[in-house]
Amino acid sequence: MSLDHRAPSLKTVLLATGVVLTLAMGVRHGLGFWMQPISQANGWTRETYSLALALQNLMWGVFGPFAGMAADRFGTMRVVITGAISYMAGLLWMALVQDATLFVAGSGVLIGFGLACTAFGAVSGIIGRVAPVEKRSWAFGISGAASSFGQFMMMPVEQQLISAAGWQHAFFLLAGLVVLAMVPMAFFLREPGVAQHQGPQQSVREALGEAFGNRSFLFLMTGYFVCGFQVVFIGAHLPAYLKDKGIMDPSVAVMALALIGLTNIIGSYYAGKLGGRLPKRYLLSSIYLTRSVVISLFLLAPLTPYSVYIFSAAMGLIWLSTVPLTNGIIAGIFGVKHMSMLAGVVFFSHQVGSFLGVWLGGYLFARQGSYDIVWGIAIALGVMAGLINLPINERTLQREALKAA
């Protein structure tokens, strides 16, 4: 049984979610550019702004399963519209609020909720339901590539906005862009009859109980924790790290983050494509282990703009390539009826890692004046994640096979 004749086509879904992900992830990846100007303007240490970014990531994870439940039950369109409005409000909050406590709390909740409703978890369900099984991993790869294109496109845009209009007005412009672009795209994501989609008629509680009782699901959560720790620490603190090491030209940091986004378009696409042919668990393990090697080589090599660019290009290839593989394993094991919710649950673990990565970077720098310990933790966690993904069992659960029979 298909969704019905009014369901959007895969092409339409990928285009609409691509625009949403481009903006959601593109704007979010550039928030590190505001760390120094906002901290200087308000007389804060880096720890305050780092805590705000950390809370955004944590709230993104906290709200993720609920946004996923809503998308599975009521459709993706309503969730994306709600998220776009919250995202806009969060950017305006960051522009206007000067009290440190209110800044951290308000931006954390508003942007965290906005991201939960507009990023991977919320849109993964409709992609999984619309894409044929044989194209599902590829479709997840396309959505990952769209988010990476957003990072590549938005990095120089955000830096130029700050330089030309000032950090405060840059937030105003981005807030308008988010809501004016995302809301129209959401109307292409109408999903009729989503609650009656085919598959085992499990309740939310039954689906969650089944997932948490599955060892492979717990392994995915552990690996995703490491992914969040690594990428958000690097994304938020790399510009400041480069300045601390004597690379004062801001264009180097802009180019570095843009390169991550550019090469991750390639990495995400081919991760999704390869995930349809090779065991996804082995691909995930290889990604995490390779990250540890790349970070280690970056720290050992002499730091120059060219070494930064090489590091960024290499990291970009394995930056968000975990997303299509992780979502593909979830859909393959559990089916797509509760896809958005389960993706949101796994992503919560990712965001706990994100919280610790970005906050710990600011916390340890404020006390030690160095990021060395956090880099070391990122390397060790990559090795752990590489090992823990190896025993994942990707086979469809038996109740799914019985249902199909």
Q: Which of 125, 274, 96, 280 is nearest to 191 (CA)?
A: 125
Predicted TM-score (pTM) of this structure: 0.77
Q: State residue 358's pLDDT score.
A: 81
Say which CATH topology domain 10-404 has: Growth Hormone; Chain: A; (1.20.1250)
Max CA distance (Å), the chain: 65
Contact (CB, 8 A) for 362 and 47: yes
At residue 395, φ and ψ (nearest 5 deg) are -65, 145
Percent of the chain that is helix, strand, coil (3-state, to 5)? 85, 0, 15
- Burial (CB count <10 Å: 0-12, 13-18, 19+), residue 66: middle
DSSP 256-274: HHHHHHHHHHHHHHHHHHH
Q: Where are the domains of the chain?
A: 10-404
Type and span of the H or E element at 106: helix 100-118
Q: State residue 6's pLDDT score.
A: 65
Amino acid at 180: L
Q: State residue 3's pLDDT score.
A: 41
CA–chain centroid gap for 108, Å, is: 15
pLDDT, tens digit only, all 405 positions of the chain: 334 446 788 889 999 998 999 899 889 878 878 888 898 888 887 778 888 888 888 898 889 889 988 888 888 899 999 999 999 999 999 999 989 999 999 999 999 999 999 987 788 888 888 888 878 888 888 887 877 787 778 877 888 899 888 999 999 999 999 999 999 999 998 876 554 445 456 777 888 888 898 999 999 999 999 999 998 899 888 888 898 888 888 788 888 888 888 898 888 888 888 888 889 999 999 999 999 999 999 999 999 999 999 999 999 999 888 988 998 898 888 887 777 788 888 888 988 898 888 888 888 888 888 889 999 999 999 999 999 999 999 888 875 444 443
